[in-house]
Amino acid sequence: MLLFYLPFILFTFSMFAEAYHHPHKLPQNYDYKIVVEDKANVLGNTAELRNSLVAFYNRTGISPAVITVENSDWQGYYSDFENYAYDLYVNHFTDESHWLIVYSTPDGYSSSDGFEDWYLEGMQGNDTDDVLTESVTNSFNDELQKNLTARTRYTVSSAISTSFDDLTPTVMKSKVNWAMLFTSIAILAFVCLHACLMIGINPKARKYAKAKPCSDAAQEKACEYCGYTYVVDTCTECPHCGAPIPPEDQPGARFT
C-alpha cells in the first residue's frame, strides 16, 4: 500500500526543490564580447551603457547586447518584431549565453518629434534560463519600458543602463517561491494523513489504549446513606440526600 503513495511523495519533494532557486553564474566558455550596435543612431555616448553591461556580465556570466534599429529595417519583411529580434540573435551569436535587447524607432526620429512609435524586444539564449527566469525578465522589461517612456528623465541609452543597474545587484540572489512551498507542504500533509488512516494509525487509539469498555446499559446503585438509587457514572453526590458517591461510581472512574 505504501508504494501507492511513493509517486505523490516524490512529486512533493520535487516541488520543494523547485520552490527554492539559487542562480548559478555562467561559465566563460563562449565568445562573451559585449555588443552595442546603434544602427538607429539614438544612443549617443555609450560609455555609461557599456559600464552597466560589463557589470551585469561580471555578476552573471551572461553577456548582454544592445542593438538599435529603425522600423523600416524589419517592418514589411517580418511578421512581427519578435521574429526579427530572433534573427538578429542567431546572426550575431553562435552560443546560447547572450541576452540581446533590441530597440526599434521610426526612421530619422528626433526627440522633438513628439510621439514615438518604438518597439522593444528581449531575446535570451537557452543557457541563461537559470538566471534570467520569467519573473526576472518580466520585472526588467517593465522597468525598461517605464524608463523609456520617461523621456524627460532618460535618454534611450540611460534608460537601458539604469534598468541594468537596478537588476544587477539582486539578479543572483536566491529566491523562494512561497506559493509553491506552502502548496507542497499542504500536499505532503494530506498524503501523510491519508496514509495513516488507510493503514489504521489513529492518534486517539493510543490515548484510550488502556480504557475499559463500559456497558451500554445504565447502572443503578442504592445510596449507602438514604437508600435511594442513583445512576453510576453520572454524579459525585447522591441526588436525594447529598451524600458522597463512592469513588468507583463517580464519572470517569471506570476509565482510570
Q: In which band, very low, low, confident or very high, does the pLDDT at 162 lie, cut at 50, 70 and 90?
A: very high
Asked if the model's pLDDT at residue 2 lies above 80, the reply is no
pLDDT, one tens digit per residue, over 21-79 is 678 999 999 999 999 999 999 999 999 999 999 999 999 999 999 999 999 999 999 99
The proportion of the chain whose per-residue pLDDT surpasses 90, expressed as a percent, equals 51
Q: Specify whether the CB–CB gap between 73 and 102 falls below 8 A.
A: no
How high is the pLDDT of residue 221? 82
Would you identify the CATH topology of the domain 23-173?
Answer: Diaminopimelate Epimerase; Chain A, domain 1 (3.10.310)
Q: Where in the chain is the domain with CATH 3.10.310.50?
A: 23-173
Query: Cα(254)–Cα(212) distance, rounded to whole angstroms?
Result: 7
Distances (CA, A) of 33 to 60, 63, 93, 187: 14, 7, 10, 47
Per-residue pLDDT at 201: 66
Q: For 195-241, how does the pLDDT look when each residue is reduced to its tens digit (9 = 90+)?
A: 676 666 665 655 655 655 555 566 888 888 888 887 878 888 888 88
Task: Give the 3-state secondary structure of residue 89.
Answer: helix
Instruction: Quote the pLDDT of residue 94.
Output: 94
Split at pLDDT 50, 70, 90, the class of 112 is very low
User: pTM score, two decimals?
Assistant: 0.64
pLDDT given for residue 83 in this prediction = 97
Residue 35: which residues within 8 A CB-CB, separation 6 or more?
A: 63, 65, 66, 67, 92, 98
Question: Average pLDDT, whole number, for the chain?
Answer: 83
- For residue 10, the model assigns a pLDDT of 65
- Let me know: does 167 contact 141? Beta carbons within 8 Å: no
Residue 165's pLDDT band, with cuts at 50, 70 and 90, is very high
* pLDDT bracket for residue 14 (50, 70, 90): low
